[in-house]
Amino acid sequence: MKQLVLVRHAKSSWELGDVTDFNRTLNERGLRDAPEMAARVKKRAIMPDLIITSTAVRAKTTATIFKEILQVPDSAFQLDDELYLAEYTYFMKLVASCSDDVNTLMLFSHNPGITAFAYLISSKINVRIDDIPTCGVFSVHIDTEHWKDFLNAPVTDWFFDYPKLV
């Protein structure tokens, strides 16, 4: 059994007009929502064996907050340049190539790719994930021992949570 956890970065700031999209930081709401959502994940007893995050500042900051609250070791924290604005096909390739030693994989990235990937996965459980809001968390258990087989394996459990869902 594998668990896949997808997290869209927390709310970012648009106030710094001269900053590139890649370098946008979290705004006040994002800095408040990220620890709250990490705490909700922790309450579900989710412990990632591996976190992979986009290198964009807002995604990396969100992932770092989760890493600290979930007490994930540095050795289980990876940066991936291609997760910045990745299409769903990249997510498929990344997950399928994950080591089978990893049972819980957590990915941090951006829309529209992360929502498109969640939509693909959620369709297997007759749920429609049309949008992962900022700092939203979508997670599924996948009935497989090998990540390379995840797309064809049954999804046995899931949850979807986001800051405004109280």
Structural domains for the chain? 8-98+110-136+147-152 (3.40.50.1240)
Residue 18 has pLDDT above 90, yes or no: no
pLDDT at 165: 85
pLDDT at 124: 87
pLDDT in tens, 112-162: 999 999 999 998 888 889 999 999 999 999 999 999 999 999 998 899 999
Dihedral sign for Cα atoms in the order 55, 59, 65, 68: negative
pLDDT in tens, 49-62: 999 999 999 999 99
Residue 93 has pLDDT above 70, yes or no: yes
pLDDT at 17: 66
Position 91 confidence tier, pLDDT thresholds 50, 70, 90: very high
d(C-alpha 106, C-alpha 98), whole Å: 11
pTM for the full model?
0.96
